[in-house]
Structure 1
Amino acid sequence: MTTPQAREFLPESDSELFREITTLLYQNAGREEFAQLQRRIDTVSSGAAGKALQQSVQMALMIRERFDEYQQRERGLNAVIETAQDLTAIRDLDHTLQAIVHRARKLMNADIGYLSIYDRSQGDFYVRATDGAFSENFKKIRVPRDVGICGYVARNRAPYTSAEYGSDARFSHFGPIDTAVTEEGIRSILGVPLMSGIEVIGVLFVGDRYVRSYNSWEMSILSTLAAHASVAIENARLFEQTQVALKQASDANAMLKKQSADTQIAAEAHEQLTSLVARGGGLRDICEMVAHMLEGAVSAIDDGEQLMYASGETGMASSAAGDDGRKAQELFYTRQDKIHAALVESRILGRSVTAYVTPDEVCRVSAVVGSRGLLGGLIIRTARELNDVEVRIFERSSMVTGVVLLSQERNQYAAREEIPAIFRGLLSSSRPNLPRLTEQAARHGLSLNQPLCVAVIEVENDNSSYVLRKMRGKLQLAGTLFDDFDGAIVFVSTLTAHNELRDTLQQYLTREMKESVTGVVSKPVTQLAALPECYQSMLRCLSTLKALGRSGAIFLEQELALYAFLFDRRNTGDIEAFLTSTLGKLYQGGQQRKTELARTLLSYLDNGHNARATAAEQNIHINTFRQRLEAINAALGNWNEGSRALEIHVALRLWRLRDDEAAGLL
């Protein structure tokens, strides 16, 4: 350096040059300006003075470069501090990573900066943040773990720099990656790993579109930023886990609060229902209260699925006329079937069940069960699905309904308790106490001072108790008493028109019951003493119907009495043998021709051998009748002699009774 003593001997022009060196240094001039000054010094100054000036310029340049280095380090430290500040504030991860990439590019004075993150599910790296990139293809590229600079950094867990990417053979090139890098114009690149423990979770890059070498300090500061990016990613992961845990805890707490509130609401509803019953409230009061609570239409049915009470409009009428009426009726019975199925399912599950859902209503059923089985059911129709609390209230209301139905059942049982005793007195062979029996029957609306009809009905599959319960709820017959007696449903009625009783029972059973029932109605009996024998005759008629294979209808005693007497305790095989032996060829084979002959012969016998009456009844010409009679004679031989005609007549009637097809005899 030139000393103050030396400056005294410099020419004035050299002193000015020395001051210009100081001025350039003060003004933070660039290398080019210092180079111009050096050229001027070479021109105007030589010797020791020129050499001293050149040394001063070199020293100024060294000071300038050292100052630039200090500034760069300061910027690096500021970038690290700013990034650390970003990490202390819980911010959006993408925002934080984008800020890190931007600072890295700015700090390195690079053309481009980007961050690739490892995707565990796909097993490759993808670009998460970029700064300075213009190629959309570059922003979307995915890099397999075993290729490219990403793969190299991930395998070696160390920074990697390349001054000439395209010709660098130290890593495995991959066509799509090279294409994207070429489109972006990148030639030099520096990548450092993002570490989480010993695992590489990403790579932070800076790149330039010219040949450039990166020094160790640049690698170091970029690695520091990468470490901060790793912390940001890990913090985001932990924060996300914390948020999920907090949400789960919050949801659980909210659920507990809701369940507690729901339980309280249901308990209060149950308390109201219980209080209602304790005050003497009945089925009507329960249905009305539940309908008000749940904003629906509530109905109660008994164990025979007969309606006991309904609050408001609870169903579609089934009595409309015409095509619309038939459709409405079909829909009504379809819904009834679904309610029946839901009632059965509810009884099995022990909770309410949705019976059906339409755009207008939702129907839910809850079985009412007692210690001895099904007591009935509660049905609610609402405009929407009930929520969990409302379902719980509905199910609790069915429990309270069970208490009411049990009470009603006890009262009804007490009222019906003497009916079996009345039947035993009327239908058994013992001598009853007639005055007492008359008084008991009168209490139930049955007068023993009038002629009486007896009807006995058997239900298949031993479902008589179920059918009986349904009858009690819906079948109304004046002057009629009915109950279970010896496993069958027995009627004793003052309806002297026995065919009217038969028709009433047949219509009701066809309309209301799905079970197959078979029954017999007696002719009117004027003497009470004759009732036991009448009852036994009904049982014989039912036995004969079984032997004939007939079921599913109600018969009159007069249709069966003769055959019941003749074939008492006979089975199906015995009857078949009788028909075969009596009718011979006319019965065997079942051809249409024999059917016509059998129908004609039965009509001829019923009409007292009157040919013209028979032809008119059969709607055939008299000559056709005579031809058929000749064919009958050929098939049966001397059928009209002695008692054989009577046997054939009985056999033809029995055949007609047995088979609906029966040669068209019915």
Structure 2
Amino acid sequence: MLGSMVLPAQRALVPLDSVLGLLDLLLDETADEQSAVAPLAESLDGAELAGVLWRTRRVRAAVARWRRRDQELSALLSSARELAELRDLDALLDRLVARAHDLVGTDVTYLSEFDQETDELRVRSTLGTFAPEFRRLRVPPGKGLAGKVVSTRSPQWTTNYDHYLDAPHDAEIDEAVRAEGLVSLLGVPLVAGDRVLGVLFAANRDEHAFTPEEIALLSAFADHAAVVLQTVHLLAQARASAEAARAANEDLARTMAARERASAVHQDLTSAVLRGGTAHEVARTLAGSLGRSVEIFDRDLAPLASARTDASGESVTAHVRAAVERSRTTGRCVFLDPSDDGAAVVVAVVAAETLLGAILVGYGDLALGSVERRTIERAAQIVALLALKREAVAEAEERVRGELISDILLGDGAHREELMLRARARGVRLESLRMVVAVLVPRDRRRAAVQALGTWRPGLLAGEHAGCVVVLTDAADPDSAATEVRECVGAPVLVVADAPVAAWGELGARFEPLRQCAELLHDLGIQDTAVNAAAYQPYLALFGARREGIVAFTEAVLGPMLRWDRDHSTDLVQTLRVYVDSHCSPARAARALNVHINTVSQRLDRITMLLGPAWREPEPFFRVTVAVRMHALATGL
């Protein structure tokens, strides 16, 4: 600069050392100004020295600004490189705030992220704060200095926030600012494209007038930060999209594999139905597909079929029964443990509103997704079809056998050959049938009784006829036949058998007396026994099948004695029956009754008093004998 000065000719030139010292002063910010300018005083007057000093100061200030700009630019570039390497959003926000704090040197630096859905600003990262409420601060749209930055997308600042009037205040924001002790604030937007990502703040706890250099520096840093932040957001979205695509591909692969398994299972199950398969085939097919144990139960939840792949399984507990009832109303699978898709699952086998059974699938590693659950539900439908088919076949067979029995019992012999052929088609040789057995069971149990009797012994016919279940068999002993039929059907049931006939054509004539005998016993209250009809033929001959006649006869003959027993709590009727069975021997009766013979004699005297002295005459005695036997039959004595 001195080279441009015009000096008078008579004046001495400034020494070179003084000029060099002045130049060193311009380059060295730490050099002492007075020491560098002092040598010039010998060559310059006061005005000239003042001018040199003023210009030197301006050059030193400019050089200082250039150096500071260079340092800030280096810091910006370094920050940009460092931030560009971060991929975690929270770590990036914390680093952004830390770098901004170092650049501007304010007391507090924080970053608020813009919520695109609510238009709110949420404080995400802070440095220099101490109030915990400030870290949870949310700024409503359009409120405070932050709202002004978002709406204008330009830097906004204030020397004293309490006096800031360019945007409406919010009580919660003002309280948080006061709690943190902030006074002067500078906010710059983080903008990427047409989106505001957030606002970066620098704040002091005293009044401070932010310089254009500070505003420009923080704005430049915010521009770099916005680009990095947007990149991280995009990378996060790309990663999320890639993860979603990978998960979707895995789900698709699992779904396709499950569908292929389900398709194979459906094909096998359909084939099982078409070829007349059983529930065991369904269980094996389903267990092989799912890698789990499969239990199939009938309508009473009794085991019907099983395919085990492990050593343990669920039993039909109250918990399982409750699950079956829930599945019955929906037709869908019910998990025994709803929180675990690897748990056992139950599905009811239903047709309309009728429960036909249930399928219990045990625990396993393969998760039961929607496809697997649908496969189990399809298996339940297949089991229902098999059950309905089985019942339809059984019902048709039972109807055919019932019609055949009716034709045999009601036939006139004109269609003998036809009946024999029809019986032979059922696996029965009609010429070997010699005995009729009548079974009185309630209407709702007749079908089950017929089904049970179908397995009693080969070569028989069982079916419904004339309101009861009829069995035509080749048995020879009526007592053992009646007992076996009762055991096969299950108590309580009344079974009456008769002696074998010489030829099967005589079976029809035996049936009606057999049925009458059964009805007579039923009317007398005997509903659970197996008897030989021959023992009751005399009573049928006397009274037929009318219970009223038996009761009236018994009352007419034994009435006084029955009333005496009721009024005096005695047992004269029992004594009379034992006396009759003992061939009218008082001694034998006493032994049978386990009492003294005098006691029997006294009781017989009482009976004579009640029935009259002629009761031992042949005709009255016959009536008394029949009456006491009928009374014993009716009372089960």
TM-score category (smaller protein)? 0.5 to 0.7
Cα distance in 2, alignment partners of residues 14 and 631 from structure 1: 173
Cα distance in 2, alignment partners of residues 71 and 18 from structure 1: 23
Task: Compute the displacement of 1:25 (Å).
Answer: 1.2
Cα distance in 1, alignment partners of residues 164 and 90 from structure 2: 33
Determine whether 1:52 maps to 2:48: yes
Determine whether 1:25 maps to 2:40: no
SS of the aligned residue for 1:477 comes to: coil
Partner of 1:489: 469
Partner of 1:218: 214
In structure 2, the CA distance between the partners of 1:436 and 1:150, relative to structure 1 (3 Å rule), is closer
Partner of 2:456: 476
Task: Compute the displacement of 1:190 (Å).
Answer: 2.8
Partner of 1:521: 496
Contact 1:603 1:614 survives alignment (8 Å): no
Contact 1:582 1:651 survives alignment (8 Å): no
Partner of 1:454: 437
Corresponding letter in the other structure for 2:49: L
Which has the higher mean CA deviation after the structures are superposed, 562-571 or 519-528?
Answer: 562-571
Map 1:135-150 → 2, pairs under 5 A: 135=130, 137-138=131-132, 141-143=135-137, 145=139
Contact 1:300 1:379 survives alignment (8 Å): yes
Deviations 1:324-371 (A, max 9, x none): xxxx9xx97x4799699969968x87788889999x9958678598xx
Cα distance in 1, alignment partners of residues 310 and 350 from structure 2: 19
In structure 2, the CA distance between the partners of 1:344 and 1:469, relative to structure 1 (3 Å rule), is farther
In structure 2, the CA distance between the partners of 1:189 and 1:403, relative to structure 1 (3 Å rule), is closer
Cα distance in 1, alignment partners of residues 578 and 294 from structure 2: 60
Determine whether 1:608 maps to 2:550: no
* Residue in structure 1 matching 2:446, options 441, 461, 464: 464
Determine whether 1:103 maps to 2:99: yes
Task: Compute the displacement of 1:115 (Å).
Answer: 1.3
Contact 2:561 2:572 survives alignment (8 Å): no
In structure 2, the CA distance between the partners of 1:446 and 1:604, relative to structure 1 (3 Å rule), is farther
Map 1:271-350 → 2, pairs under 5 A: 334=316
In structure 2, the CA distance between the partners of 1:199 and 1:379, relative to structure 1 (3 Å rule), is closer
Contact 2:107 2:205 survives alignment (8 Å): yes
Corresponding letter in the other structure for 1:57: L
Task: Compute the displacement of 1:272 (Å).
Answer: 6.6
Cα distance in 2, alignment partners of residues 73 and 595 from structure 1: 130
Corresponding letter in the other structure for 1:458: V
Deviations 1:59-96 (A, max 9, x none): 22222333343455556666667777789889332243
In structure 2, the CA distance between the partners of 1:222 and 1:433, relative to structure 1 (3 Å rule), is same
Cα distance in 2, alignment partners of residues 103 and 231 from structure 1: 15
TM-score normalised by length of structure 1: 0.65
SS of the aligned residue for 1:177 comes to: helix
* Residue in structure 2 matching 1:507, options 480, 483, 487: 487
TM-score normalised by length of structure 2: 0.67
Partner of 1:532: 508
SS of the aligned residue for 1:495 comes to: coil
Task: Compute the displacement of 1:263 (Å).
Answer: 3.3
SS of the aligned residue for 1:141 comes to: helix
In structure 2, the CA distance between the partners of 1:206 and 1:405, relative to structure 1 (3 Å rule), is closer
In structure 2, the CA distance between the partners of 1:249 and 1:446, relative to structure 1 (3 Å rule), is same
SS of the aligned residue for 1:6 comes to: coil
Corresponding letter in the other structure for 1:143: L
Map 1:547-562 → 2, pairs under 5 A: 557=533
Cα distance in 2, alignment partners of residues 219 and 444 from structure 1: 108
Task: Compute the displacement of 1:122 (Å).
Answer: 10
Cα distance in 2, alignment partners of residues 213 and 140 from structure 1: 23
Cα distance in 2, alignment partners of residues 259 and 490 from structure 1: 56
SS of the aligned residue for 2:484 comes to: helix
Cα distance in 2, alignment partners of residues 297 and 578 from structure 1: 66
Corresponding letter in the other structure for 2:26: L
Partner of 1:656: 635
Cα distance in 2, alignment partners of residues 12 and 406 from structure 1: 128
Contact 1:192 1:226 survives alignment (8 Å): yes
Cα distance in 1, alignment partners of residues 18 and 603 from structure 2: 155
* Residue in structure 2 matching 1:93, options 85, 89, 111: 89
Contact 1:117 1:202 survives alignment (8 Å): yes
In structure 2, the CA distance between the partners of 1:243 and 1:501, relative to structure 1 (3 Å rule), is farther
Corresponding letter in the other structure for 2:60: R
In structure 2, the CA distance between the partners of 1:525 and 1:201, relative to structure 1 (3 Å rule), is same
Partner of 1:427: 409
Deviations 1:146-168 (A, max 9, x none): 79x98443367575545567x87
Corresponding letter in the other structure for 2:202: V
Corresponding letter in the other structure for 2:23: T
Cα distance in 1, alignment partners of residues 122 and 360 from structure 2: 58
Cα distance in 1, alignment partners of residues 365 and 475 from structure 2: 49
Corresponding letter in the other structure for 1:523: D
SS of the aligned residue for 2:62 comes to: helix
In structure 2, the CA distance between the partners of 1:438 and 1:80, relative to structure 1 (3 Å rule), is same
Cα distance in 1, alignment partners of residues 512 and 291 from structure 2: 55
In structure 2, the CA distance between the partners of 1:293 and 1:259, relative to structure 1 (3 Å rule), is closer
In structure 2, the CA distance between the partners of 1:340 and 1:58, relative to structure 1 (3 Å rule), is closer
SS of the aligned residue for 1:60 comes to: helix
Give ranges in structure 1 of 5+ residues lacking alignment: 317-327, 511-515, 658-664
Contact 2:495 2:518 survives alignment (8 Å): yes
Corresponding letter in the other structure for 1:56: V
Cα distance in 2, alignment partners of residues 562 and 123 from structure 1: 105
In structure 2, the CA distance between the partners of 1:524 and 1:656, relative to structure 1 (3 Å rule), is same
SS of the aligned residue for 1:607 comes to: helix
Partner of 1:153: 146
In structure 2, the CA distance between the partners of 1:268 and 1:381, relative to structure 1 (3 Å rule), is closer
Task: Compute the displacement of 1:24 (Å).
Answer: 1.7
Task: Compute the displacement of 1:520 (Å).
Answer: 2.4
Partner of 1:264: 260
Give ranges in structure 2 of 5+ residues lacking alignment: none
Cα distance in 2, alignment partners of residues 481 and 250 from structure 1: 67
RMSD: 6.4
Cα distance in 2, alignment partners of residues 189 and 385 from structure 1: 60
Task: Compute the displacement of 1:127 (Å).
Answer: 3.7
Cα distance in 2, alignment partners of residues 459 and 174 from structure 1: 85
In structure 2, the CA distance between the partners of 1:114 and 1:392, relative to structure 1 (3 Å rule), is closer
Determine whether 1:177 maps to 2:176: yes
Deviations 1:596-643 (A, max 9, x none): 948x34532431367887787777899999999999999x99899669
* Residue in structure 2 matching 1:206, options 202, 206, 211: 202
Cα distance in 2, alignment partners of residues 395 and 50 from structure 1: 109
Aligned length: 612
Partner of 1:323: none
In structure 2, the CA distance between the partners of 1:101 and 1:498, relative to structure 1 (3 Å rule), is same
SS of the aligned residue for 1:62 comes to: helix
Corresponding letter in the other structure for 1:141: R
Corresponding letter in the other structure for 2:90: D
Task: Compute the displacement of 1:23 (Å).
Answer: 0.7
